[in-house]
Structure 1
Amino acid sequence: TCYHGNLTQSKYCILALESNPSDHARVSTIFLSKSQTDVRDRRKSNHINHISHVSPGPLSKKYSSCSTIFIDDSTVSQPNLKSTIKCVTLAIYYHIKNRDSDRSLDIFDEKLHPLSREPVPDDYLHVDPEHKLIYRFVRTLFSAAQLTAECAIVTLVYLERLLTYAELDISPANWKLIVLGAILLASKVWDDQAVWNVDYCQILKDITVEDMNEMERHFLELLQFNINVPASVYAKYYFDLRQLADDNNLSFPLEPLNNQRAQKLEAISRLCEDKYKDLSRAAMRRSLSADNLIGIRRSNAVLS
């Protein structure tokens, strides 16, 4: 919370919000910076192993050649669901693993607000969850609620916004409830067919609607009711997630370019070209005043 009675503190709060990656497209995402230490260590280890072995192993990635072109179906407007969830949960994993401290709130403490009847282990505060555990938890929610890949990206935006605004850390004790709160909010804001809180209670059968409502209310208050996600911020998170995937060898699924897909891409390219031609002709009919000139920049189609 920013208190305006102190000018210095107010300036500090404004600067803190301006440096928040969930609000501003030019600020680097937190998850990508938290992953860099592990990525550097892994690359160093791989380099040493490569030198020590005479023959390297088989290539894990597919590369285009003269005879075969590989493309993927994931774009910023239509991300691949499975790959996106894998990347988002990997980002959450790095948030937990490389957290600065264990700042939290009782509303997100799993022992105080359990999601199941199974007792929470005594060491739940100290044992970091593996990536596959986080992935299974998120994947279950997305499958049962039929949520989209775009919702997963917005979930990560809300999660980083919460950690920044409320000055919290996501940890073994609170990650499930924080992730659940972010998913719940993202599904209501982003997806056309929102999932009600009672629907999540059908998925997580041991949590009550009252607890879900209270958590959602706290989540919104901590976000200062800022649920807006600019297109530029969304795009930044998408491309940073692709960078995270590349750094961790989680490549998006590649398929050979066949005749049917090539014809579809060619048709889309022709539609775009006709659209740009129409815009260009419309621009030429406008006044030649320097203040009214509209520049039309043509660009070739790019295969993602």
Structure 2
Amino acid sequence: PEHYSPPPENMLNMEYNPSDHPRASTIFLSKSQTDVREKRKSVFVNHHGSTRRKHSSCSTIFLDDNTVSQPNLKFTIKCVSLAIYYHIKNRDTDGGMRQDIFDEKLHPLSKSEVPSDYDRHDPEQKQIYRFVRTLFSAAQLTAECAIVTLVYLERLLTYAEIDIGPGNWKRIVLGAILLASKVWDDQAVWNVDYCQILKDITVEDMNELERQFLELLQFNINVPSSVYAKYYFDLRSLSETNSLSIPLEPLSRDKAQRLEAISRLCDDKYKDARRAAKKRSASVDNLVGLRWVPAILS
């Protein structure tokens, strides 16, 4: 009889990789769970403190200016930076495999001397946010690109079996942004454009970073819409547990008219679908009142 041999462990990991499969839980959300209790305490304090949330009234209605099809840029960058922060803070203790292309000591992003303890101190969330925001602002990237950046980052960590830490996070994030901007945005940012943002980095270094990033991703740059939506909603969940307020805007007259028009259109389509369904099928209730005619057999 043939003996069953289980698939390799890395194949099992790929099967449950959240960057490929919509049902697999995102890594950043699970890594943030260790701090959920502390965040809940801070939420309670903020609730009873001076922090105030906008509420709708009879005169003004506030709407959530952040949807899956049109995410808010500043809010999304904050959430993605927070996700990266939790990746670094709650990384695995074994360190994973080492990839020299991401090592900031071997490939510095500036001419300033890299400190000897560059890989020992975790960056603060504000530092990560400033780094990501600077790249997105200078390259004029979209909020959707930020979500795809996080997908590529988690795909890299899974495929290459590496951890993101204080000594490599900047170059890993840079490589993910570089790739996401070329795949997602219609007007791609060239590698030389990033050299204008990061003055001391060379085009050759950027090209090599992109090439090795692609190889470690096994050239899988596809992001299904279901995976994209999952990351968007998980980022919203992350913001709620970390007291990141979603931007609210007062409902304007023009926006109200657009929403009313969309509502009427959906209502008309729903009514048309119900009429079509009635014509296609009949229930037992519709048989009441019908006149029965005896059949004549010849």
The answer to whether the superposition gives a TM-score over 0.5 is yes
Identity in percent? 75
**Paired residue type of 1:121:** P
Which residues in structure 2 correspond to 1:3-14 (within 5 Å)?
7-8=5-6, 10-14=7-11
1:30 counterpart residue number = 27
CA apart distance, 1:237? 0.4
Check the 8 A contact 2:148/2:228 in 1, yes or no. yes
CA apart distance, 1:264? 1.8
CA apart distance, 1:65? 4.5
1:262 counterpart residue number = 256
**In structure 2, C-alpha distance between the alignment counterparts of 1:56 and 1:205, rounded to whole Å:** 46
Verify: 1:86 aligned to 2:68, yes or no: no
**In structure 2, C-alpha distance between the alignment counterparts of 1:236 and 1:85, rounded to whole Å:** 16
CA apart distance, 1:12? 2.7
Corresponding residue to 2:36 among 30, 39, 46: 39
2:289 counterpart residue number = none
Corresponding residue to 1:15 among 4, 12, 17: 12
Query: Cα deviation per residue 1:87-138 (whole Å; 9 max; x = unaligned)?
Result: 0001001111111133331110001001111111111111111111111111
1:215 counterpart residue number = 209
Q: Select between 33-42 and 141-150 the one with higher mean Cα deviation.
A: 33-42
Corresponding residue to 1:147 among 141, 144, 157: 141
**In structure 2, C-alpha distance between the alignment counterparts of 1:135 and 1:110, rounded to whole Å:** 18
Corresponding residue to 1:126 among 115, 120, 125: 120
Which residues in structure 2 correspond to 1:151-162 (within 5 Å)?
151-162=145-156
Corresponding residue to 1:175 among 154, 169, 175: 169
2:48 match: secondary structure: coil
Evaluate the alpha carbon distance shift between residue 125 and residue 59 of structure 1 in structure 2; reply closer, same or farther with a 3 A threshold.
closer
**Paired residue type of 1:93:** Y
**Paired residue type of 2:105:** K
**Paired residue type of 2:157:** L
Evaluate the alpha carbon distance shift between residue 175 and residue 70 of structure 1 in structure 2; reply closer, same or farther with a 3 A threshold.
same
Verify: 1:105 aligned to 2:99, yes or no: yes
1:294 counterpart residue number = none
CA apart distance, 1:282? 5.9
Which residues in structure 2 correspond to 1:286-297 (within 5 Å)?
none
**Paired residue type of 2:162:** L
**Paired residue type of 2:35:** D
CA apart distance, 1:156? 0.1
Query: Cα deviation per residue 1:5-31 (whole Å; 9 max; x = unaligned)?
Result: x953x3433321111111111111111
Q: Tell me, which stretches of 5 or more residues in structure 2 are unaligned?
A: 283-298
**In structure 1, C-alpha distance between the alignment counterparts of 2:65 and 2:28, rounded to whole Å:** 24
Check the 8 A contact 2:18/2:24 in 1, yes or no. yes
Q: Tell me, which stretches of 5 or more residues in structure 1 are unaligned?
A: 1-5, 290-304
CA apart distance, 1:58? 3.1
1:297 counterpart residue number = none
1:238 counterpart residue number = 232
Query: Cα deviation per residue 1:204-251 (whole Å; 9 max; x = unaligned)?
Result: 111111111111111111111111111111001001101111111111
Evaluate the alpha carbon distance shift between residue 57 and residue 140 of structure 1 in structure 2; reply closer, same or farther with a 3 A threshold.
same
The two structures, once aligned, show a CA RMSD in angstroms of 2.3
Corresponding residue to 1:249 among 243, 246, 253: 243
1:71 match: secondary structure: strand
**TM-score normalised by the chain length of structure 2:** 0.86
Query: Cα deviation per residue 1:124-154 (whole Å; 9 max; x = unaligned)?
Result: 1111111111111111111111110000000
**Paired residue type of 2:91:** R
Verify: 1:73 aligned to 2:73, yes or no: no
**In structure 2, C-alpha distance between the alignment counterparts of 1:173 and 1:282, rounded to whole Å:** 62
Evaluate the alpha carbon distance shift between residue 201 and residue 45 of structure 1 in structure 2; reply closer, same or farther with a 3 A threshold.
closer
Check the 8 A contact 2:39/2:243 in 1, yes or no. no
**Paired residue type of 1:90:** L
**Paired residue type of 1:273:** D
1:57 counterpart residue number = 49
1:167 match: secondary structure: coil
1:296 counterpart residue number = none
CA apart distance, 1:259? 3.0
**TM-score normalised by the chain length of structure 1:** 0.84
Corresponding residue to 1:184 among 148, 154, 178: 178
